[in-house]
Amino acid sequence: MTPANDNAPTLVSLNDAARMTSLSRTMVNRYRAEGRFPPAIPLGDRRIAFIRSEITEWIQARIDAARSLRAAA
């Protein structure tokens, strides 16, 4: 039997999102400002987090785009 929260979204910090993507915090924030990164979830006055699955999807989209460019060349 699986726990009921197996499908619950998992939040990750800005530092974790940067590590997951191999981007700096500055670049993550720049991409956010440009609308090129998944939106942050505000947690408090000065704290944000990201939904892990959205970051993973963003990474996969980048991989897929790079592969399609190579295949087209």
Structural domain including 55 reads 11-72
Tens of pLDDT along the chain (73 residues) come to 455 667 889 999 999 999 999 999 999 999 999 999 999 999 999 999 999 999 999 999 999 999 998 888 7
Residue 3 forms part of a structural domain: no
Residue 5 forms part of a structural domain: no
Strand ranges inside 1-73, DSSP E: 11-12, 41-44, 47-51
Please give the single-letter amino acid code of residue 52.
Answer: R
Residue 6 forms part of a structural domain: no
What is the biggest distance separating any 2 CA atoms in the chain, rounded to whole angstroms?
Answer: 48
Q: CA nearest 13: which of 59, 50, 56?
A: 50
Number of domains in the chain: 1
What per-residue confidence (pLDDT) applies to 70? 81
Residue 2 forms part of a structural domain: no
CATH for 66:
1.10.1660
Residue 61 forms part of a structural domain: yes
